[in-house]
Amino acid sequence: MFDRLFELLDLPERSYLGKRVYKRFFHEHAKLGVTDRKALSEDIDTILWQYTLKPSTVPIQPYHDDDREYLEVAVIQINMKNQRRANRITGIVHRAIPYPVILVLVYDTMVLVSLAQKRLSRAESDAIVAEDFADSDWIDLAKTTDTEEQFLDSVNFRRLPATDFFVYYTAFFDRVVALNAARISGRFVAEAIDSKRKHLERYTELNREIAEFRAAIKKEPAFNRQVELNGKIKELEDLREREVQRL
Co-location of 115 and 169 in the same domain: yes
Co-location of 107 and 40 in the same domain: yes
Asked if pLDDT for residue 21 goes beyond 70, the answer is yes
pLDDT, tens digit (0-9, with 9 covering 90-100), for 162-218: 999 999 999 999 999 999 989 888 888 777 566 666 777 777 788 788 898 888 888
Co-location of 129 and 241 in the same domain: no
The answer to which of 42-51, 152-161, 189-198 has the lowest mean pLDDT is 189-198
**50/79 Cα distance (integer angstroms):** 12
Co-location of 14 and 104 in the same domain: yes
Whole-number average pLDDT of the chain: 89
CA angle 123, 125, 126 (to 5 degrees): 125
**Helix, strand, or coil here: 13?**
helix
pLDDT score at 118: 92
Co-location of 92 and 208 in the same domain: no
Q: Decide: residue 140, CB within 10 A, 0-12 exposed, 13-18 middle, 19+ buried.
A: middle
Report the domain count for the chain.
2
Cβ neighbours of residue 135 closer than 8 Å, sequence gap 6 or more: 86, 87, 90, 112, 113, 114, 176
Co-location of 70 and 131 in the same domain: yes
Q: Which domain holds residue 210?
A: 193-246
CB 121 within 8 A of CB 128: yes
